[in-house]
Structure 1
Amino acid sequence: MSKRILLLTFFYPPDLSAGSFRALALVEALRRRAGADIQIDVLTTQPNRYACHASEVDSSEESPGLYVRRVHLPQMREGFVGQAISFWRYARRVRCLTTAGNYDLVVATSSRLMTAVLGAWVAYRRKAQLYLDIRDIFVENLNVLFPRWVAAPLRWTFGSLERSAIVRADRVSLVSRGFLGYFQPRYPMRHFPVFSNGVDETFVRFTADMQKALPRPVTEPVQVLYAGNLGDGQGMHLILPELARRLRGRAHFRVVGAGGRLEPLREALRSMGLDNVDLFSPVAREQLLEFYREADVLFLHLNDYPAFKRVLPSKLFEYAATGKPIWAGVAGYAAEFVAAEVADAAVFAPCDIQGALDSFERLALQSSDRSDFVCRYARTRIMNEMAQDILQLLEPA
């Protein structure tokens, strides 16, 4: 008799996000390893990450061994309150849709904690086992999002919710080894396997194509690409305008993305009269690959927040797979990872303008062979290992 797995993920393709691509890769890995022995039900949302890339798709899809149900939500608004409202509506529908379900295992992949809490609640209600895939440290980030007098009670509240979910789970995995410094002291009796985002198959193929292509000569202005979210966490509005001003004539920036700090970034560029920065809305992956091909340097930046010293940006794996030089404003574990694992990358401290300029001068403007990195961090391999970790919960005791 086949086992039934419920996967809770707020984002799922065709939505554009690291969590979306990770969830799909996990579903594919589970189906490869278990085959007809499992039925996977995915409860997710209609695409809503970016207003400019939102599109209504079928509310349900069914194929042998897989059922995907998408909950319709209003376009997700920026900010804590808007995101909380969107999640509440998702949680309400999940509650209704799982009322009659009999699940052997609930898997929740969670960045903002509450999907993990929702997974714990459903697992308890349906008497199922629980596997949590933790992709961010929400409680620690509250100090960044709110003033101290607001953050303190929120930390107590969400800390209690985090504890209840972690303790309830049969197994918990983390997306970054940097998270161990937060979770291990708080839950010393628990083992936390780490499964990073890795390089997905699209970029594995892209790497092979780039290695066959003729080298592209680099001339000034150097074409610098940033592709990703534009929120407080990335802090692009704090560093890019001044970098663009100081590198005028030497570098041309292309920014592909959207987020809560897009307008402040746009306004800063406008007020400084900069003409060497082009802003583009989020694009599908096929179009994004063209941006990568045309770039000379790939730019990455995280804001100067203590909590971000634990994270490992998923975008870093995409960037590394292209073989292009990487110019990264990161600290903590991400900086250590780049130094140890990624050839031809120049790192500077977040929000440090002079440090960024100095590191730009150190960049070797040529493509590198990072095939070993791509092989080592291939998402297919990582997700196969994660799927095995999950499926062990369904084995007879």
Structure 2
Amino acid sequence: MRKKVLIVTQNFYPAIGSAGNRMRNIFRLLSEESIEVEVLTIEPSYPNKSMYQDQKFWDDEVVNNSLDKIKRVPIKSRKFTNRILSRLFFYLEIMYRFTFELFKRRKDNYDYIYVSTPPIFIVFSAWIGKKLMKSKLILEVRDLWPDSLIGVQTMDHKWIIGLFQKLEKKMYRMADLIVINSIGFKEHIEAKLKKEKTIIYLPNGPRKEEIIEDKGSSEKFRVIYAGNLGLAQDIGRLKKMAQVLDSYNIHFDVLGYGMKTDSFRTFIDESKLSNIELHEPTTRQESLALIAQSDLSIAFLNDAAVFSTVLPGKIIDYMTCQTPVIAGVTGTAASLITNHHTGFVFEYRDTDKMIDKILELKEQPHKLELLRNNCKKTVEDHFLWEKNIKELSKFLK
């Protein structure tokens, strides 16, 4: 008898970013493994809902033909801000609407409810669903919350943080299985558990057909930054890097979105940086194509301790496109880049050294070729979805 799984997630196709793409891959691949999969999610709205009126974002025909398996609930609170109360009401509304939908399905026979964080509030919706349906609960952890709130300095009320940390422990302990997308999360989670629990490492990565086989070459040396322009990234350092690269006549593509985007756009205009191009958010396919045109990529995370456990999805995207990484990161992400020789890692504040390395590699095409080959091999060996989904599929069956 086929197993039946309900995925409960805030982020799902066609929502841009690694989270939406991740949940789409899990939905498609588990379905291909003869598992009956349904999805409960919200209407795509990040960074703005109107963006998804463009049909180019709805480019996955397999998912488009599975709309009977996907329930999208409307959310009134769609404003993304750095105000903690605004975000809290947004998350609580999602929790309420998911709980209501799960209550309506209380007589359905799901073997598993697969819930993805952040935010943690929807986990408690899923827990109610678990009780109502007598299902097992699989918890996917994509972010160490509330530690990440502390890391971006959006929350300094100790009593609230203390409450959230208690909810975090409860969340880990009530799950039947925990899935993580960064191996750096494992030790943190195990320390919160009362007893040993199965933890599966399922990293972000590409599908086979997304791996760039032939990099090609462009006339002009190009550098790219792709990803969030938010609180966890240091936009000040990115601005400095843009200014210096422009002075060396190096083309710098920034494919960014988030609450700091307008600030970065204003900086480019006021500084009259002719070699810097800020791109609008686009589809995954177009994003990978842009990354593939670049010779080097940039990754930043601030130096808060929590971010040492994170493996940003964009770093894997860079390597998927054979684009070596110049990174100001620590911990898990730094180890991956260093151990597999897919780029160079620097201290978070060493912007000057990062720029020097870019200028050095610009004159060393043979070294760049070696780094590109390492990127491709690393992704094929460790990050292919088709390989990594097998462990989760085996557990479900």
Q: Give TM-score, length-normalised by structure 2.
A: 0.86
2:131 counterpart of 1:124? yes
Choose from 152, 174, 187 the match for 1:181.
187
Name the CA shift for 1:148/1:136 in 2 (closer, same or farther; >3 Å): closer
Deviation at 1:184, TM superposition (A): 1.9
Alignment-derived partner of residue 5 in structure 1:
5
Q: Partners in 2 of 1:271 and 1:280 — Cα distance?
A: 17
CA distance in 2, matches of 1:62, 1:371: 30
Matched residue SS, 1:54: helix
Q: Percent identity?
A: 22
Consecutive unaligned residues in structure 1, runs of 5 or more:
393-397
Instruction: Say which is worse superposed, 118-127 or 309-318, in terms of deviation.
Output: 118-127
For residues 3-54 of structure 1, the C-alpha deviation after alignment (integer angstroms, 9 at most, x for no partner) is: 4322101111111121111111111222222x2xx43221011111122633
Q: Which moved more, 1:367-376 or 1:131-140?
A: 367-376
Counterpart pick for 1:158 among 155, 164, 167: 164
Is the CA contact (8 Å cut-off) linking 1:39 and 1:66 kept in structure 2?
no
Mean Cα displacement is larger for which, 277-286 or 194-203? 194-203
Partner of 1:375: 380
Q: Which residue of 2 aligns with 1:199?
A: 206
8 Å CA contact retained: 1:218, 1:296: no
| Distance across 2 between alignment mates of 1:108 and 1:40 | 13
Contact 1:11/1:45 (<8 A) preserved: yes
Partner of 1:350: 348
Bigger Cα displacement from structure 2, 193-202 vs 16-25: 193-202
CA drift at 1:120: 2.1
Counterpart-to-counterpart distance in 2, 1:271 and 1:65 = 45
Q: Specify every segment of 5 or more residues in structure 2 that has no aligned partner in the other structure, as ranges.
A: none
Question: CA offsets per residue over residues 267-320 of structure 1, 9 Å max, x none?
Answer: 333444433321111011232233123322222211222211110011111110
Please tell me whether the aligned partners of residues 40 and 66 of structure 1 are also in contact (alpha carbons under 8 angstroms): no
Residues 244 and 291 of structure 1: is their aligned pair in 2 closer, same or farther, counting only changes over 3 Å? same
**Closer, same or farther in 2 for the Cα pair 1:30/1:56, shift >3 Å?**
same
**AA matched with 1:348:** F
Asked if residue 43 in structure 1 is aligned to residue 40 in structure 2, the reply is: yes
Q: d(CA) in 2 for partners of 1:261 and 1:202?
A: 33
Find the residue that maps to 1:375 and give its secondary structure: helix
Higher mean displacement: 315-324 or 96-105: 96-105
> Secondary structure of the residue that 1:246 maps to in structure 2?
helix
- Asked whether the 8 Å contact 2:224–2:252 carries over to 1, the reply is yes
CA contact (8 A) 1:346 1:360 kept: no
Change (3 A) 1:8 1:359: same
Q: Classify the secondary structure of the residue corresponding to 1:23.
A: helix
Alpha-carbon distance between aligned partners in 1 of 2:258 and 2:118, rounded to the nearest angstrom: 17
State the shift of 1:238 in Å. Answer: 1.5
| Pairing of 1:12-31 with structure 2 (within 5 A) | 12-31=12-31
Give the superposition deviation at 1:341: 2.2
Q: 1:158 to 1:121 in 2, by over 3 A?
A: farther
Q: In the superposition, relative to structure 1, how do residues 272 and 174 fare at CA in structure 2: closer, same or farther (>3 Å)? A: same
Count of aligned residue pairs for this structure pair: 375
- Give a deviation string over 1:179-221, Cα, whole Å, max 9, x none: 12311222262232211112234422xx22x25xxx41554xx
* C-alpha distance in 1 between matches for 2:86 and 2:42: 15
Indicate the residue corresponding to 2:232 in structure 1.
Answer: 233
Task: Give the SS at the match of 1:98.
Answer: helix
Q: Residue in 1 aligned with 2:86?
A: 82
Separation in 1, partners of 2:25, 2:156: 40
Measured against aligned partners, the alpha-carbon deviations of 1:69-91 in whole angstroms (never above 9, x if no partner) come to 01122434222333333322222
RMSD (Å) for aligned C-alpha atoms = 2.6
Q: Is the contact between residue 178 and residue 311 of structure 1 (CA under 8 Å) also seen in structure 2?
A: yes
Asked if residue 111 in structure 1 is aligned to residue 114 in structure 2, the reply is no
1:148 Cα deviation after fit: 7.0
Residue equivalent to 1:395:
none
Contact 2:319 2:376 in 1 (8 A): no
For 1:193 and 1:147, how far apart are their aligned partners in 2? Answer: 30
Q: What is the one-letter code of the residue matched to 1:77?
A: F
Decide which moves more: 294-303 or 223-232. 294-303
Indicate the residue corresponding to 2:358 in structure 1: 360
Equivalent residue runs for 1:293-372 within 5 Å: 293-343=292-342, 345-363=343-361, 364-365=364-365, 366-367=368-369, 368-369=372-373, 370-372=375-377
* 1:230 Cα deviation from its structure 2 partner: 0.9
Q: Separation in 1 of the partners of 2:66 and 2:268?
A: 51
TM-score using structure 1 length? 0.86
